[in-house]
A and B are shown apart, each in its own frame.
Chain A
Amino acid sequence: MSPWVVGFSVFIVYPMVSSLYFSFTRYDLLSEPVFVGLENYRFMFTQDPNFWQSVRNTLWMVGVGVSLRIVFGVVTATVLTWPRRGAKVYRTIFFLPTMAPPVAAAVAFVFVLNPRIGPVNQLLGALGMEHPPLWFYSPGSAKWGLVLLGLWGVGDAMIIFLAGLLDVPRQLYEAAEIEGAGPWQRFRFVTLPMISPVIFFNLVMGVISGFQYFTQAYVASVATSGNRVATQALGYPQGSMLFYSVYLYQQGFTYFRMGYASAMAWVLFLITMACTALIFRTSARWVHYGGALR
């Protein structure tokens, strides 16, 4: 127990307390921290357009990215329950992309979605699309590139849904079928409620990690912007990939604005807590424990 207590104090408690303190200072690591009161928070909320852009980007990613991932996860898991033979092979294939290290996966997608030489756009061009998207090179489509990347690696969510789906008692479907429910109704009124706890779990985890989205955005920006200095590429194109954690990293560790970064971290913490609390509050309405049918 005691190593954990030491670790907990040194690596969690002390940093939390001092980061709260730093959030009220200007601190560049080279000179002593200067207490500035609420200045960092004032600047953040009233004078820093990049902050708001990073918030908007992140909320978009959490909203669109996480929900599409859940939908696609449920779809792929459902599809995996169909075959009576070969299910394991399909499952392995569907899961494989999840194993690709995020950096490698992002690099691969930057290439696959390259507007001129990437196979996806060549295919779209061959299909007669005149102006296929520029993907990671255009602010309008860059985040969709990341969404696709997220869907490709849907495996971890999918496996959990699959376990949930296989846990649904068969009698429920049979009962529904006897009562004349079609496939969609069976899905809507049997499957969905039965796996709602799993959806809830994935939603909470997705939201928490969505707010910390970093690696894929970092890699995509650095690989596409062509800028010699990696840190100057962050957010490319046009700040559309400037997610909250990316911006925090830039402020804290490339500009050495440690005080400001700490303030951002606390705001992040509070937003995450608020969103999670909100999901928990609403969960009573749509999460069904104990298999009760609606």
Chain B
Amino acid sequence: MARELPTGGVAAGVVPRPLPPGVRRRRFLQAVANHTVLVALSAMFLMPFVFVVLTALMTDRQALSAAIWPRPFRWSNFLEVFRAIDLVRYTWNTVQVAVGATVGVVVSCVPVAYALSRLRWRGRQAAFVVVLSTLMLPFQVTVVPLYIIFVRFGWIPSLKPLIVPMFFGDAFSIFLLRQFFLTIPEELTDAARVDGASELQIMTRVVVPLAKPAIAAVALFQFLYSWNDLFAPLLFVGGDPNLWTLSIGLAQFRTMTQVDWNLMMAASVLFMLPVIVLFFLAQRVFVEGVTLTGVKG
């Protein structure tokens, strides 16, 4: 890959000005070369998807053969897979977790971020440092005692450990929201304060509407995180297949009865689909969110 760097190092576009034909020809060839590289890379990025979908449409014997193209197309695999594993239940569990956790994070993190950015109180800076430092804390450090706490609560196995803690704040989301809230001009909130609005009103009526993109990004990230996560669900509901999320269900596919590659790929497709649709619907929010964490962080 790195080999392509020197030849393609025209890192940014060039300001247009009248050009002699020789240069224009070179530019044209350059553009063709550029697009060739881009198309080749695109093909590489798309290939795995293509193979997965094609295999999902094969018969089980064919999936085990050298064939690339399904013959015949077995669309019924997408129904079959619901019989092979309890996909409906896994999806329902995953939706509960993802929606619950997302609501929890938004409800709990907005006020904290507000307090950390808009309210003046002693220890605010210290609190922010604490939030930042928990960003660094590996989940592994707290997971054993957490497991034991949840056992004592009688929450294992249940979906609660995956949802309830999110109602008590999440360092990453607090951090992201606080960074965004800081960019909202003080004058706006001060003006509202002069008008006699309470802090709650300022938060819900002034700050939240302005911070919609950031809140959307936080919600989206949490949703995807919960939708995709394997480690925590494995710990907390791994013992009860009735509570499995899609991640566990798919990860265990091979070890369960009555499966083969074609159905496994069909399940993968069904698992990817909602997220990819979501991505196309909310691409802008998503890209902005990633960039916000990376560049402004």
Contacts and interface: CB of A to CB of B under 8 A. Distances in A.
Interface string A202-219: 100000100110110011
Interface string B138-156: 1111111111110100000
Given A78-B11, A93-B42, A159 B291 contact: yes
Interface string B67-78: 010000000000
A100 B46 CA distance: 12
B251 A273 contact: no
Contacts of A269: 137-138, 140-141
B35 A83 contact: yes
Given A19-B141, A218-B230, A97 B146 contact: no
B140 A265 contact: yes
A278 interface: no
Contacts of A111: 51-52, 55, 261, 264-265
B250 interface: yes
Interface string A168-209: 101001100000001110110011000000100110000010
Contact of B230 (A215, A228, A253): A215
A93 B45 contact: yes
B4 to A, nearest CB: 7
Interface of A (DSSP majority class): helix
A176 B9 CA distance: 13
B38 A11 contact: no
B204 interface: no
Given A71-B1, A108-B48, A219-B230, A160 B294 contact: yes
A103 B10 contact: no
Nearest to B7: A183
A102 interface: yes
Contacts of A228: 255
A207 to B, nearest CB: 11
B83 interface: no
Contacts of B294: 159-160, 163-164, 198, 201-202
Contact of A82 (B8, B134, B149, B247): B8
B115 to A, nearest CB: 5
A223 interface: yes
A90 B51 contact: no
A229 B252 CA distance: 9
Contacts of A227: 255
B157 interface: no
Interface residues of A, number: 104
Given A83-B31, A269-B141, 8 more contacts: A10-B168, A14-B145, A15-B149, A18-B148, A117-B63, A215-B230, A219-B230, A222-B252
29 contacts: A7-B169, A16-B145, A19-B142, A19-B145, A71-B1, A79-B37, A79-B41, A82-B38, A83-B35, A93-B42, A100-B276, A101-B275, A102-B228, A102-B230, A108-B52, A109-B48, A119-B68, A159-B294, A163-B295, A165-B12, A174-B15, A183-B7, A183-B10, A184-B6, A187-B5, A214-B230, A218-B234, A268-B141, A269-B140
Interface of A: 1, 3-4, 6-8, 10-12, 14-16, 18-19, 22, 29, 71-72, 75-76, 78-84, 86, 90-97, 99-105, 107-109, 111-112, 117, 119, 122, 152, 156, 159-160, 163-165, 167-168, 170, 173-174, 182-184, 186-187, 190-191, 198, 201-202, 208, 211-212, 214-215, 218-219, 222-223, 226-230, 233, 245, 248-249, 252-253, 258, 261-262, 264-266, 268-269, 272-273, 276
